[in-house]
Amino acid sequence: DAKTTQPPSMDCAEGRAANLPCNHSTISGNEYVYWYRQIHSQGPQYIIHGLKNNETNEMASLIITEDRKSSTLILPHATLRDTAVYYCIVRVGGGTSYGKLTFGQGTILTVHP
Amino acid sequence: EAQVTQNPRYLITVTGKKLTVTCSQNMNHEYMSWYRQDPGLGLRQIYYSMNVEVTDKGDVPEGYKVSRKEKRNFPLILESPSPNQTSLYFCASSLAHSTSYEQYFGPGTRLTVT
């Protein structure tokens, strides 16, 4: 699976959009971009994933650049409850290792009042 | 409610005393996995199972055993725990043939081995 690079920490004001970047310059054509988050030692929580098109769900939006070498997770209206470690993960969507998630260090997002 | 449960949530034990951490899911998922999380090392996969009676090693399997006799359960066994297995453990599950491969994680088990 491709390696990802994320900033170690970011701040965001409550009610504003939080834009979390991720670089994955070695991504392969069959690799998906996934985002998970972990709130204070709880189990990681799935947020969103995509292959090459931008995606949106009730939690967030995922913007993937055209060359797929980077992506941005957008939390449109951050709340204090969004304070967490956010992990960007790149992995193959199938095959024998499809289930394995390789977590890096992630980005600590702090939402402040 | 769809969920992954783990028991116990907290455990303090002594070196060499065999223990089992249970994991159960109610979503009929084929795939289950165990991770451990340590400061500065992130989450690392210990073992995984693609289906009943099918298990394989992850990145850090040494000192652990697993079994998958039923689809819903995937216990993690430490036959002779050592202090370096003090960690936060997570069980996860997902559908095996889903394009989203969204994994559901349990609440975690904090293990301390003295």
**DSSP assignments along A19-47, one per residue:** EEEEE-TT--TTEEEEEEEE-TTSPPEEE
What pLDDT, in 10s, does the model give residues B39-87?
A: 888 899 999 998 899 999 998 999 999 999 999 999 999 999 999 999 9
pLDDT digits (tens, 9 = 90+) for A48-102: 999 998 999 999 999 999 999 999 999 999 999 999 999 999 886 655 555 677 8
Q: Is A106 on the interface with B (CB under 8 A)?
A: yes
* Residue carrying the six token digits 């997770």: A73
**Averaged pLDDT score across all residues of chain A:** 91
Say which of A34, A43, A100 has its CB closest to residue B90.
A43
Q: How close is the nearest chain B Cα to the Cα of A43, in Å?
A: 5
> Token pair for residue A110?
């702090």
The answer to whether B104 and B17 are in contact (CB under 8 A) is no
pLDDT tens-digit map of A8-48? 999 999 999 999 999 999 998 888 899 999 999 899 999 99
What is the number of alpha carbons within 13 Å of residue A41 lying toward its C-beta? 10
Distance from the Cα of A39 to chain B's closest Cα (Å) equals 11
Cβ-based neighbour number of residue B74 at 10 Å: 29
